[in-house]
Copies of this chain bind each other. A is one copy, B any other.
Amino acid sequence: MHIGTKGDYGVRALIDLAMYGGEGPVQRTEIARRQHIPDSYLDHLLAQLRRDGFVRSTRGPGGGHQLTRPADEICLLHVLESLEGSLAPLPCLEDDESGEPHSVCAQQWVWREIYDDMRARLAAVSLADLAAREQERLRSAVASYSI
């Protein structure tokens, strides 16, 4: 695995929707501005997230993007796998549906546990959790300004 800007930006976009999406659709340009993401790139990330059913979009004036489910029902694991593809650190751990058994490699047994544990931890974190942390981070940043 390796979380690049896709995973970083994409997750932040969803956190943004979790935080500001209460009052109807949020526009892409607004997310891009708030999260410092290139607008044209965010476009692609939202398209991917829509394909995988995390967001719903409406066009036309007043349109924008919304989460399809409550933020506490969306887990980080699924979001990252949507944005980045498989998170497997070794090709031989990839879970492909083709049924082809991947070749065994010398370190497989070590990484199997690490990978399973990683996925379990990521599955235990929801967008709501991330949004709460972000909220707290913003609060403390403002506090430190006002000192």
Contacts and interface: CB of A to CB of B under 8 A. Distances in A.
A3 interface: yes
Contact of A125 (B2, B8, B110): B110
Contact of A134 (B90, B106, B122, B130): B106
Interface residues of A, number: 29
A1 interface: yes
A69 B12 CA distance: 46
Contact of A121 (B3, B76, B110): B110
Interface of A: 1-3, 7-8, 11-12, 15, 76, 89-90, 104-107, 109-111, 113-114, 117-118, 121-122, 125, 130, 133-134, 137
